[in-house]
Structure 1
Amino acid sequence: MATLTFLGAVGEVTGSRYLLEVDGSEGTRKLLLECGMHQGGGDADERNARPFGRLARELSAVVISHGHLDHAGLLPKLVREGYRGPIHCTRDTRDLLEIMLADAAFVMAKDVEWENRWRHKADKPLLEPLYDTDDVEQTLAQCEPHHYGQPVSLPGGVTLVYRDAGHILGSAIVELKVPSGGRDRRLVFSGDLGNPESVLMEDPEKVFDADLVLMESTYGDRDHRPLDETLEEFARVLEEAHAAGGNVLIPAFAVGRTQEVLYHLSVLYHEGRLRQQLVFLDSPMAIRVTELYQKKRKSLNDEDLRVLNVAAQGDPSQYLPVLRLTRSVEESMAINRIHGGAIIIAGAGMCNGGRIIHHLRYNLAKPSTRVVIVGFQAAGTRGRQLVDGVERVKLFGEEVPVKARIHTIGGFSAHAGQSELLAWAGAFRQRPRFYLVHGEPGAQQALRSALAAAGIEAEIPDYGDRIEL
């Protein structure tokens, strides 16, 4: 018999983690599907810090769908606590993890160093980071990368196959064939399904056979605006910012969203519609990821790349000539001397850390500023506060009035909307059991109702729920 326990991303969008236990002749084998960080909310740090306990040494394998931190960000912590088995992922995910986990360790070290200064003065116990760069290196050494469509044998007689999820570079739908109850059962995890209208990525693959499906529900309550309307709104915001003389701030999701925004800025530039003459990519991680996307061009959508090639006469360096890459802290600080006419793309995407905080501090109080939100903002994050219309926000210990105009442009989302989720779920030939994960309660209930109207029954699990395959 095989069982699945829900250990994360239930009733919330982040913290992905599921435990698969398979009984066999050699005893019970434990496999971990996803090992993600919790992001947003007052208890996120506490939940991330909870020890894995005995599980770290009892696991036989780990399977990761893609490289976003809410799916893979606690891998080095698992390794730090004793896990030494294989970490299965796609080849492009392995390369992304090298960038993202190293950056997470660096940011964590800086945050802990800052916090410990105050703790030392207050004679309080000092903190330790969840993991460091040595743990990241060990994690990468344990990664076993695979191609899409390649069957992989896992402990317990389980077979893994990755399918293209079309979300970010290397993102995958996870198919697991699991022996249970005298026959093979098919467990399919959607991972994060991509938005077919997004550029650069291929469309998510359809899967037709499953006994049990774990499906994301991030945007289960709505569809995204059509891309052409989204681009017109984006161009209009940029034009208004130019007329008002202010800067445009775009909180950067380093993987996927940043590259898509740069693509659309490039198209606007070559159409003569980009009035701003300075575009800053102010995120060392986003810069490295953008360079990786360039290196991995064969993994991207040919038609979208052809558009860029035509626009820039085939010269990648001319896609966006006004782009400036600011790697150092000094270069980043210098941007704050520019009081208008610039587009500043800076991390982090949910405004809960990174260089965007400095740019918000210098620009939020100006009515001429435009803040363009291009991705999902989890509950409890500073980005969510801005989207919800907060009048003042605390930055570096001081209250800053929000006079800037906040624009939420959801059509850039790299997630499937409700209609795409319904179409993906409707492709299964039999009637598998559906469990909705990776969504806030309202979105999950809406998707559950929409699925029911289409004749598909779905359940919404709670933390710790355990089901048989």
Structure 2
Amino acid sequence: MDLPRITHHGAADGVTGSCHRLQITPDQALLVDCGLFQGEDAAGDDTLEQHQVTFPVHDLLAMVVTHVHIDHIGRLPYLLAAGYQGPIICSVPSARLLPLVIEDALKIGFTRDERMIRRFLDVVDERLTPIDYNTWHTVLDDPGHTVRVRLQRAGHILGSAYVEADIAHHTAGTRERIVFSGDLGAPHAPLLPAPKPPYRADRLVLESTYGNRRHDDRRNRRQRLKAAIDRALANRGTVIIPAFSIGRTQELLYELEGLIHNAPVRSDGTDWRNLEIIVDSPLAARFTAVYRDLKPHWDAEAHKRLRAGRHPLAFDNLYTVDDHDEHLQTVDYLARTGRPAVVIAASGMAAGGRVVNYLKRMLGDRRHCVLFVGYQGAGTPGRAIQQHGPDGGWVDLDGERHTIRARIETISGYSAHADQKGLVDFVRRMRRPPHTIHLVHGDPTAQQSLRRALEAWAEEAGHALTVHAATPDPP
């Protein structure tokens, strides 16, 4: 066996289920992420077996978390059930957010027994090892090897990181730097500093979610967001935005606060300052509160707003919906009255959660708009609405067929993922770029397109580079 060796137990031939293993010696390894499979990546109704951890855990020195989205940490309960007893290394913000995500995942997929959940979270809390960005953390130091990991800002969601693993082989007198990108954020994303590439990487495991696309720039996407809401004001309808509770929701609130702050009164007398922005997700509200607590990790632009006395995540027009009865009343009120509003609700791919109730009531009404601002995985209701909605199609929601008459819009620029240019720039701006890149976390079309773009850059730069799509490790 050639060592160190990288194997993939998720997100190799799909977008979700990120889980990558770095085998350093025959009996010592690192694990980077351990996420759930979603959409078409999920194996039909038998996801329980699919999510079981079948790879060895006894030799894991540590699990390193890139960020706390469920497709990167959702298999943590399965990992611990398989016997993993080591540390869970993550950034300082991720250590605040991870227990909230896991608690929600347990309630949805395992149990609602509060005592059992609390016992599990206590175990997780004991294992969490938060480390500061740009700080080396030693996970192994013996006569054969020294292995250190370092987290750098990835700009995807608060706390997100890419992982540098530095491996010194004392016997051979060599050193290798292997980088796992996690999910890289788009430049100029609200609230978060843009990711900066590492100085060097010998090998790189690189995400490719948007490897075949280019995003709108921030000014254009903000204008398109404003235009969609202006139409809702004119139509007396609701803009429904399916968004994940962490990351996308907070970025949208930040942008909406800016639009409301700068909006003039419209010629028809309607006023953005009277527009209700509704976050219908208790989990999103909890995440937003943590985001507010973690202001030191915001970017310079956000701090400028704070110094001006503005509150980007707690403004006057913002309302949160907590309990289920209030949620049902809100859906009914907006569907009946036609009061203009913006509703942000999970899940981001419309595969479940409260957003489904809004869609059931409003998809058939032309006054309303469904606005997608993130990736819609193949096999999800969000992808079906996105594809078939503009042609007056239909979508299956909870086993019922719903005709789509509402306006359907997509703003790709709000993706929390880097596009093809951002991914290529991450590689080419390294002072010592990698000789090998493993593409993960993307569908085949995206991976092939990114591979061609990376090979074209390497040829032009005269850099020897091998790029290949990762393949899943057999169970």
Specify if TM > 0.5. Answer: yes
Say whether the 8 Å CA contact 1:65–1:173 is kept in structure 2.
yes
Say whether the 8 Å CA contact 2:438–2:470 is kept in structure 1.
yes
1:240-251, aligned counterparts within 5 Å? 240-251=231-242
Give the whole-Å Cα distance in 1 for the aligned partners of 2:30 and 2:432: 26
* Structure 2 residue matching 1:56: 3-state secondary structure: coil
* Structure 2 residue matching 1:249: 3-state secondary structure: strand
1:288 is matched with which residue? 286
After TM superposition, give the deviation of residue 309 of structure 1 in Å. Answer: 4.9
1:217 is matched with which residue? 208
| Structure 1: stretches of 5+ with no match in the other structure | 114-127
Say whether the 8 Å CA contact 1:276–1:342 is kept in structure 2.
no
After TM superposition, give the deviation of residue 96 of structure 1 in Å. Answer: 0.9
1:92 is matched with which residue? 93
Distance 1:367 1:54, change over 3 A: closer
Say whether the 8 Å CA contact 2:239–2:371 is kept in structure 1.
yes
2:412 is matched with which residue? 410
1:150 is matched with which residue? 135
Say whether the 8 Å CA contact 2:292–2:313 is kept in structure 1.
no
Which letter does structure 1 place at the counterpart of 2:46?
E
* Structure 2 residue matching 1:298: 3-state secondary structure: helix
1:387 partnered with 2:399: no
- 1:341-376 Cα deviation digits (max 9, x unpaired): 121111111111110011111111111110010111
1:33-432, aligned counterparts within 5 Å? 33-41=32-40, 43=43, 46-47=46-47, 49-50=49-50, 51-53=52-54, 55-109=56-110, 132=117, 134-155=119-140, 157-180=146-169, 182=172, 183-272=174-263, 274=272, 277-307=275-305, 309-310=307-308, 314-316=309-311, 320-336=315-331, 337-339=333-335, 340=338, 341-389=340-388, 391-432=393-434
After TM superposition, give the deviation of residue 382 of structure 1 in Å. Answer: 1.0
Which letter does structure 1 place at the counterpart of 2:93?
D
1:463 partnered with 2:463: no
- 1:307-363 Cα deviation digits (max 9, x unpaired): 3553xxx15389531111111111111112223212111111111111001111111
Distance 1:242 1:436, change over 3 A: same
Give the whole-Å Cα distance in 2 for the aligned partners of 1:359 and 1:305: 34
Give the whole-Å Cα distance in 1 for the aligned partners of 2:441 and 2:164: 18
* Structure 2 residue matching 1:454: 3-state secondary structure: helix
Q: Which deviates further from its counterpart, 42-51 or 6-15? A: 42-51
Which letter does structure 2 place at the counterpart of 1:18?
H
1:5 is matched with which residue? 7
Among 441, 450, 464, the residue aligned to 1:438: 441
Give the whole-Å Cα distance in 2 for the aligned partners of 1:444 and 1:345: 31
Which letter does structure 2 place at the counterpart of 1:464?
D
Say whether the 8 Å CA contact 2:210–2:418 is kept in structure 1.
yes
Q: What is the aligned-residue identity percentage?
A: 34
* Structure 1 residue matching 2:334: 3-state secondary structure: coil
Say whether the 8 Å CA contact 2:67–2:161 is kept in structure 1.
yes
After TM superposition, give the deviation of residue 47 of structure 1 in Å. Answer: 4.7
- 1:120-146 Cα deviation digits (max 9, x unpaired): xxxxxxxx9xx9553343223211110
TM-score normalised by the chain length of structure 2:
0.88
- 1:257-276 Cα deviation digits (max 9, x unpaired): 11111111111111125266
* Structure 2 residue matching 1:357: 3-state secondary structure: helix
Give the whole-Å Cα distance in 2 for the aligned partners of 1:89 and 1:49: 27
Say whether the 8 Å CA contact 2:349–2:380 is kept in structure 1.
yes
* Structure 1 residue matching 2:240: 3-state secondary structure: strand
Distance 1:421 1:465, change over 3 A: farther
Say whether the 8 Å CA contact 1:2–1:20 is kept in structure 2.
yes
2:462 is matched with which residue? none
Give the whole-Å Cα distance in 2 for the aligned partners of 1:266 and 1:66: 26
Which letter does structure 1 place at the counterpart of 2:316?
P
Which letter does structure 2 place at the counterpart of 1:447?
L
Give the whole-Å Cα distance in 2 for the aligned partners of 1:157 and 1:44: 42
* Structure 2 residue matching 1:449: 3-state secondary structure: helix
TM-score normalised by the chain length of structure 1:
0.89
Say whether the 8 Å CA contact 2:374–2:414 is kept in structure 1.
yes
Say whether the 8 Å CA contact 1:2–1:179 is kept in structure 2.
no
Q: Which deviates further from its counterpart, 436-445 or 101-110? A: 101-110
Give the whole-Å Cα distance in 2 for the aligned partners of 1:295 and 1:89: 18
| Structure 2: stretches of 5+ with no match in the other structure | 265-271, 459-464
Tell me the C-alpha RMSD between the 2 structures: 2.2
Give the whole-Å Cα distance in 1 for the aligned partners of 2:305 and 2:37: 37
* Structure 2 residue matching 1:218: 3-state secondary structure: coil
* Structure 2 residue matching 1:94: 3-state secondary structure: helix
Say whether the 8 Å CA contact 1:79–1:138 is kept in structure 2.
no
- 1:413-443 Cα deviation digits (max 9, x unpaired): 1111111111110023335211111111111
Give the whole-Å Cα distance in 2 for the aligned partners of 1:309 and 1:246: 35
Give the whole-Å Cα distance in 2 for the aligned partners of 1:144 and 1:44: 35
Which letter does structure 1 place at the counterpart of 2:256?
L
Which letter does structure 1 place at the counterpart of 2:403?
P
Give the whole-Å Cα distance in 2 for the aligned partners of 1:363 and 1:54: 45
Give the whole-Å Cα distance in 2 for the aligned partners of 1:282 and 1:157: 48
After TM superposition, give the deviation of residue 465 of structure 1 in Å. Answer: 8.0
1:125 is matched with which residue? none
Say whether the 8 Å CA contact 2:288–2:313 is kept in structure 1.
no
Give the whole-Å Cα distance in 1 for the aligned partners of 2:356 and 2:312: 29
